Amino acid sequence: MEINWAELKAAAVQAMKHAYAPYSHFPVGAAALVDDGRIVSGCNVENASYGVGLCAECGLVSNLSMTGGGKLIAFYCVDGAENILMPCGRCRQLLFEHSQTGMLLQTTSGIKTIEEVLPDAFGPRDLADGFGSEQRG
């Protein structure tokens, strides 16, 4: 499937415009291409209890689930000035959980795979049927 990076950036910018960031004043938008051709997006939503704010990637993954699921194949994230942002560690793990192998991310240092930005990640691919049952003891 061809990835239209300009279309992903435009969707991330549109999502960023809906961010709720009254505390940090740092709006973030994210967009991703799904394996069925859809684009899903999300924005950050802050909270007065600072630590319980939601990153744009959280909204994106929620949107993915709400609109039919699937696997993410390409990802783009922007700040309020439309600059590329790199997902934090927590969000890299969240994206990994919902990505296909080799998902591409537009990063501040070029396009990278999810495995490059989260090396040696642990996730659903490691949980083969019956994993753990033989290992208990």
Catalytic residues: 57
Whether the CB-CB separation of 34 and 58 falls below 8 Å is answered with no
Whether the CB-CB separation of 8 and 76 falls below 8 Å is answered with yes
82: left (phi over 0), alpha (psi -120 to 50) or beta: left
d(CA 44, CA 37): 24
